[in-house]
Structure 1
């Protein structure tokens, strides 16, 4: 990839930002030398590594590479048998500590049994824990070695301390006995030897070796004869200490040399991982996604945001190239975003081929190009000199010599800087040459001739950067398939240029140019209208999908409630039949027992009567007592919309159809719809039908004539409250369960459950049941005037 385009498309600024996210020397070096690749397998592997690093950061948090120093120089000295200093060994220790931390981070995915493109790199890290622990045990800092580094060092340092104490003792004795001779009552050192500051006039009174003299000459620093031997001994011990330290460093260096291969590998692996995680951090910073690469030269980026623009103001663009057309000509007014569109496409290609994610919508596609060429400069000046044109033309000539079908070429203001007629002709010829060579090309221009060229040439497409004439502001949206207008007249009019001047300018434009501009205006109006209609259609589709989903959920709930009601009815019927069977069996046993005795007629008749009474009681509990209408009705008495009561079912409803020849009409009773004979109906004469709602109130629905439409409750007999006082928990909960279902099907918004205060056991059981009930949206204890803590107010969900 040519170096010039990396600067032109500001890829070097991306590299600077990437380098800021790396922390190791080798990682930063890899970032600085990153360049686009041209082999698709290498690109896909790099993209996969970046994505895997992003995934690890999301699941396990960021990874720190702090503490990694450049140890390559130390490793070279180890290879030739050199001995490392304490700072170099501490750098190795710091590297190994970072290695252990990074390997532990990478082990989190391995514990879950998930392998990715980074698993191998993490597994190859060798923390060399014994070597690291030994270095940390022996060396405390870059200038201090531990006493426990070796037994010889510990012994020498103990001797140094003892000798130093003897020297101080001797000097303190001399200091206390010769205060008159001393300039200051202190012990000082010169050249590492302990001395006393003696006044110049008394230097003969203190025998010893003179080491130094003050700048004024009034003080001599004398080493007394009494401590010379001890000072000499101390010097020997210090020399011996240094030898012991060097011996320890030699041992540690030898141990490190044995692991030099692993140390070098760890350094390189940490740098590579740091480089990969820097790419992941850059991806998170710019909110990027992984692009999909192809080798067919097809490029499609959706909602692309140039990473170097302010993320709060940047407008996403969508660009396409290489499938239905391989040449895209972008037109439109200045400052409309044409150059940004070119740079975005070119920069994304360079970023993607470098293994970096791009700030665009998920699934955006990029092609692999061997070369990217760009002729992009500052063409916003009113006056353009010949030298500017010559410079651009020299660059274009170089591009035409090198470009092929695996190249991406970007031209900004192609043909500008010279006579418009000649410039347009040159631009068309250059683009035709590249188009014939199947070179993927994007070019911006102001020339109308290029708009016509795009409209009349296969494989060439127009595009424009949208401009809002009402606000005189560009929207920066890239619209493919529509040529752009310069909008010079509209902008001039908005800025106050007199209308007569604008009209005069219009007359000076050829009729063909005027017609073409009018055609562009009509196309833009149609596009805006189609865009608005498309948004409306999408809105309607979303609403229809939501309603369909709500209807499906409602139907599922109704089916579930129906199954629940049927199951409960079957269970109740089973209990009634079992009770009747048990009573009959007991009666039969009594009859058989009495039949063996004489004179038992009365007793047998008593048992038969007892059985008949029990069966009558069972029948009365299972049968619905049919009521008779107050008067006989004729078919012509019923009209659609009449409010009626179905006597056999004790339900109110609305007539939906006129009577058939059999005298049957369809009646809608809440969610129930059934055919009923008019003999089982009674017309309701009330002007209003009331159904109970919250807080014991009523909602009246007016009925006008015979055409009123009323939403009926399940049954007019469903009470807005249930009294459970006096019942045990086992008795109350099944009764409450049935009541809640009935009230919910009756469309009551809320009900009252009376459970009393008592010990609170019944209240707790009621609340526990309501907590599990899917029909109940909320419940609360009653307020003052509603029954207080002896009552629970239940609110039903309104999603029926």
Structure 2
């Protein structure tokens, strides 16, 4: 049954495509033997290794497998005692060893390919054998002199003897005694012996043996008697050289035979690497991914495409992109009934389910969303297409029944069953009833089933059983063309009249056909079409809403990143300020120690000048200390981000470093009131105080600008007599409270004194972002002892 199912679902075409992408003969053999695997761990390992090969392909380009040859016949030949190998076979072995070494480097990246890197570590590089072959045979296939000293000596003798023979013949060619005898001044070879071209009419003037004549008969190729002995000696040397070459090849063959086990293992590994790289190329061209293997008996194929709609038979991408669909089975429903118009994609959807399942079972990635989930059913059955056979006396309906009989005989609870055009080929009522009975049987044994149909009886089956679901292939009534999308929860209309109209069937015929339909049938068809139209519109609205939600999420993420970057920059600036402050502390402490030392030295003197100097030094100490405190950045107390807030609670906005009042909380977002304005921020952008603070609720008026009671706020602050480090936080708090209460002007009474406190407050106000201006008060209001602060919006 499996072989028939593989053929029906066109798994062989996937095998052929992957075979196209192999580069070695062993890899091609391995690809051609591709079949579904038996164990889950085998499937997961194969998927992982293909994923690793794809990562390497994208990072490093194609693997160096071109030198890997099929060595099966060679290794079988050397297993025979006394066998020797040709130079071609030996070079293939050396090339295969070079390929193994190169693949060891290519696939050895553990960070990109941990599984494949473990596999290539098992390659036996056999450097001694490889070097021996390379030292004995050059790439052109010639046995080198370095192969043995005997061969080198024989070739040296042959070279000397050749030179002597040519010297004798050249003397003859230039001898005036033989003028006009030779056809041309040329020394050539016939049958491995040196000869000269003699004109046929001067043959008697050169003693020797005739080895050949020209096609015209005007030239004879004669071996002169003067070189006869030397030619004989050369032939003897050449025979000895050939025997020595055969001895060398026999010796190399023995070395190969001793390493035949390692070479065979290398070939298996290299073939598997070639296969993984071929599948990786296929996956890249089809945008295939590795789905999740689940232990639950369900299929959740998201955004899947049929691979044969993506690549042609030559492995080239098709121009028209296939429509992606979602195919779900087993999570909430054990049976899926797909209906809709002809040419709408029902059978393609059915074949897509079966073929993609087979591919995953064989350890192949599939064109899908990576979140897809696949259960590895133990069996798969398919009744797709016409099995009519004149020879076997089978009609279309009989062919379907034969398949159904085989399916019912072998199906169990771990089976996936695919039935195309259930109930067709006979009377619709009887065929539909038989199809329903078959579906009952399949559901009873626990199988997962996908059915395509046009019969309303089968469509209505989904409404009678809880775990059976309808799905419709979409048909656009405006363009009168299928969209190939799949909608769940509604049956599909066959739209036979619509398709017939697009195919050119005369209108009168269609009108007559419509008259044969009963009113109830017409109403039912119209209702199905309306349901499909409504579902299509709802699906479009859902997609648009999802797109808007995605855009909103992107905007929120963008805003969060901007706030995060702002906070990071703010922290960086504060860190720099603190580092500068620490440096100033060190410098000031050193200066204070120096001044105090001078003060103590002057403390022993009693004259008025010394006392005055001591007083001056003490004043410098105080001024230096005050200057230090005015320039030290105040450490900001950090509070935790809240998980829940209460209406009326005061919180701090971390990025703005200001306080706001909570209006209400909506999930993880909080609606805040700040200066009479409403804003929304996530909880992570806020801090709560410890202990928690709450604003007093103001009495309702016609114009409410804040939830904080105004009567508690005083626009004037007394800090006279306070130290700088105690006064500045109170001034900063005064400004914040004034902003919250919408005051435009406040005053700070600091007194005249030495002027240090006034100077520190002025520096604070000069850098405060909410202060637009500040100045001394009128003399009647305190003069230089009071500062008036003007605030912006």
Q: Same fold by TM (over 0.5)?
A: yes
Q: Which SS does the other structure have where 1:674 is aligned?
A: helix
Residue 462 of structure 1 and its aligned partner are, at CA, apart by 0.5
Q: State the 1:187 CA deviation.
A: 2.2
SS in 2 for 1:133: helix
**Residue of structure 1 aligned with 2:557, choices 521, 532, 546:** 546
Equivalent residue number for residue 714 of structure 1: 770
How far the C-alpha of 1:467 sits from its partner, in A, is 2.3
Task: Name the residue aligned to 1:203.
Answer: 203
- Tell me how far apart the structure 1 counterparts of residues 569 and 142 of structure 2 sit (CA, whole Å): 81
Alpha-carbon spacing, 1:441–1:593, altered in 2? closer, same or farther (3 Å): same
Distance 1:576 1:746 in 2: 37
* Deviation readout 1:207-265 (Å, 9 max, x if unpaired): 22222334444333322111111111111111111112112112212222222222222
Q: Residue 278 of structure 1: CA displacement?
A: 2.3
* TM value normalised by structure 2: 0.72
Larger mean CA deviation between 228-237 and 556-565 belongs to 556-565
Question: 1:174 aligned to 168, 172, 175, which one?
Answer: 172
Q: Equivalent residue of 2:41, what SS? A: helix
Pair 547,167 (structure 1): closer, same or farther in 2 beyond 3 Å: closer
Output the CA distance in 2 between the equivalents of 1:284 and 1:120: 24
Spell out the pairing of 1:379-458 with structure 2 (5 A cutoff).
387-458=395-466
Residue aligning to 2:149:
151
Paired residue secondary structure (1:184): coil
**Residue 534 of structure 2 corresponds to which residue in structure 1?**
525
TM-score, scaled to structure 1? 0.72
Secondary structure at 1:196's aligned position in 2?
strand
Q: After TM superposition, list the pairs within 5 Å mapping 1:55-454 onto structure 2.
A: 55-81=55-81, 82-109=83-110, 116-141=114-139, 143-177=141-175, 178-294=178-294, 296-310=296-310, 312-377=320-385, 387-454=395-462
Is the Cα–Cα contact under 8 Å of residues 656 and 666 in structure 1 kept in the other structure? no
1:511 is the counterpart of 2:557: no
1:51 shift after superposition: 2.9
Instruction: Kindly report which structure 2 residues correspond to 1:348-747, keeping only aligned pairs within 5 A, or say none.
Output: 348-377=356-385, 387-487=395-495, 505=514, 508-511=517-520, 514=523, 517-518=526-527, 521-522=530-531, 524-525=533-534, 528-529=537-538, 532-533=541-542, 535-536=544-545, 539-540=548-549, 543=552, 545-546=556-557, 549=560, 553=564, 556=567, 560=571, 567=578, 578=589, 581=592, 585=596, 588-589=599-600, 592-595=603-606, 597=607, 600=608, 604-605=611-612, 608=615, 660-662=710-712, 664=714, 673-675=736-738, 682=745, 713-716=769-772
SS in 1 for 2:416: strand
- Shift of the 225–586 alpha-carbon distance from structure 1 to 2, 3 Å rule, reads closer
CA deviations over 1:277-316 (Å, ceiling 9, x no partner): 3223322232222233345431111111111113652111
- After superposition, the Cα gap between the structure-2 partners of 1:85 and 1:414, relative to the gap in structure 1 and judged at 3 Å, is same
Q: Which moved more, 1:604-613 or 1:27-36?
A: 604-613
What is the rounded CA distance, in whole Å, between the counterparts of 2:771 and 2:508 in structure 1? 76
Distance 1:434 1:539 in 2: 43
Give the whole-Å Cα distance in 2 for the aligned partners of 1:655 and 1:590: 63
Q: Would you say the 8 A contact 1:664–1:676 is kept in 2?
A: no
CA gap of 1:187–1:485, structure 2 versus 1, over 3 A, is same
Inter-partner Cα distance in structure 2 for 1:504 and 1:404: 44
Mapped contact 1:90–1:142 kept (Cα < 8 A): no
Mark the CA change 1:138 to 1:396 in structure 2 (over 3 Å): closer, same or farther: same
**Distance change in 2, residues 1:491/1:190 (3 Å):** closer
- What's the secondary structure of 1:410's corresponding residue? strand
Change in Cα spacing, 1:130 to 1:664, as seen in structure 2 (3 Å) is same
Deviation at 1:373, TM superposition (A): 2.3
- 8 Å CA contact 1:289–1:361 kept in 2: the answer is yes
For the 8 Å contact 2:183–2:219, the answer to whether it is kept is yes
Distance 1:672 1:353 in 2: 71
Structure 1 residue 15, shift from structure 2 partner: 0.5
Q: Is the 8 A contact 1:181 1:205 kept in 2?
A: yes
- Give 1:562 deviation, angstroms: 9.3
Q: 1:50 & 1:174 partners in 2: Cα distance?
A: 72
Alpha-carbon distance in 1 for matches of 2:734, 2:261: 81
Structure 1 60/613 Cα, relative in aligned 2: closer, same or farther at 3 Å? closer
Structure 2 unmatched runs, 5+: 311-317, 388-392, 632-674, 678-703, 718-730, 748-767, 775-790
The worse-fitting range, judged by mean Cα deviation, of 461-470 and 193-202 is 193-202
Give distance in 2, aligned partners of 1:561 and 1:98: 54
